[in-house]
């Protein structure tokens, strides 16, 4: 079971340090893999504070080139040099707000994996696509550009449930996860308004291998509670 906390554009270095110090001492289950995904400016301090623990530090994105004229981007070798273990790729906000295409997601994924990073690649449908009955076809399209790899994990995050307070029912999550697993035999996380109150139910099915947690990962108590719920 893997629980990853995506901090999005929250927690600069000072706040990240304070959080990671507390996370080191938190009551986290030994049999659950825990990852935090700080913004770029806070990766270094997170790596330093969490060194010597089993808690991984992932970036939120990664460019497909090792270096070059790509202002504002960060490459996989740079992340490796910093001590980062992995990266998110293709988060719904990257797709929706920044025009990230399936092919760009595939390029970023391949580059990160080639550099030795672990990758959580995100897929999921919008509300209009779900209402049109296109969930399965959207997932097939997004998954089709990815290839199985021991260091690749898929995160199913229905776009309509990201930051909206809406949450997929366990049945919706199960169906989507099973569809993804038919296409790629890899672990699949659920992401979309995961909270301590719904974590155990969402994570109970065998097809759900963990969670990509957004807002609830910004405070220690709810994030730790989700980690403990995943064990049960």
> Given 3-state DSSP classes, what are the helix, strand and coil percentages for the chain, each rounded to the nearest 5?
45, 15, 40
Q: How confident is the model at residue 172 (pLDDT cuts 50, 70, 90)?
A: confident
- Burial, 199: exposed, middle or buried (Cβ in 10 Å; 0-12, 13-18, 19+)? buried
Of 88, 39, 37, the closest CA to residue 61 belongs to 88
Residue 222, helix vs strand vs coil: helix
The mean pLDDT value for 199-205 works out to 91
Tokens of 184: 């790629």
Integer Cα distance of 108 and 126 in angstroms:
22
Query: Mean pLDDT across the chain, nearest whole number?
Result: 94
157 is catalytic: yes
Q: Find the catalytic residue in 93, 100, 157, 177.
A: 157
Q: How confident is the model at residue 130 (pLDDT cuts 50, 70, 90)?
A: confident
Q: Find the catalytic residue in 63, 91, 93, 125.
A: 91
CA–chain centroid gap for 143, Å, is 15
Task: Return the pLDDT at 128.
Answer: 87
Per-domain boundaries in the chain: 2-231
Class at the top of the CATH hierarchy for domain 2-231: alpha beta
Tokens of 7: 């901090």
93 is catalytic: no
Q: How confident is the model at residue 232 (pLDDT cuts 50, 70, 90)?
A: low
pLDDT in tens, 132-168: 989 999 999 999 999 999 999 999 998 877 666 677 7
Task: Return the pLDDT at 163.
Answer: 66
First to last CA, the chain: 11
CA 89, 127, 1 angle in degrees (round to 5)?
A: 45
Of 1, 11, 2, the closest CA to residue 215 belongs to 11
Backbone angles phi, psi at 208, to 5 degrees: -105, 115
Q: How confident is the model at residue 109 (pLDDT cuts 50, 70, 90)?
A: very high
Integer Cα distance of 107 and 215 in angstroms:
28
pLDDT in tens, 44-71: 999 999 999 999 999 999 999 999 999 9
């Amino acid at each position: 079971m893997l629980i990853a906390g995506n901090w999005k554009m929250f927690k600069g270095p000072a706040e990240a340090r304070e959080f990671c110090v507390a996370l080191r001492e938190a009551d986290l289950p030994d049999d659950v893999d825990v990852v935090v995904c700080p913004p770029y400016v806070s990766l270094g301090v997170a790596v330093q504070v969490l060194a010597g623990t089993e808690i991984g530090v992932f970036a939120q994105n990664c460019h497909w080139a090792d270096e070059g004229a790509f202002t504002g981007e960060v490459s996989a070798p740079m992340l490796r040099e910093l001590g980062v273990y992995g990266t998110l790729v293709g988060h719904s906000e990257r797709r929706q707000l920044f025009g990230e295409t399936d092919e760009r997601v595939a390029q970023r994924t391949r580059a990160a994996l080639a550099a030795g990073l672990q990758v959580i690649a995100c897929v999921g449908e919008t509300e209009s696509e779900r209402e049109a009955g296109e969930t399965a076809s959207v997932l097939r399209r997004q998954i089709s550009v990815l290839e199985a790899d021991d260091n690749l994990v898929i995160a199913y995050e229905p776009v309509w449930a990201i930051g909206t307070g809406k949450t997929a029912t366990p049945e919706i999550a199960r169906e989507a996860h099973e569809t993804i697993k038919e296409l790629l035999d890899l672990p699949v996380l659920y992401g979309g308004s995961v909270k301590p109150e719904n974590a155990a139910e969402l994570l109970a099915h065998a097809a759900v291998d963990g969670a990509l947690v957004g807002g609830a990962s910004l405070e220690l108590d709810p994030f730790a509670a989700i980690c403990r719920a995943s064990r049960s």
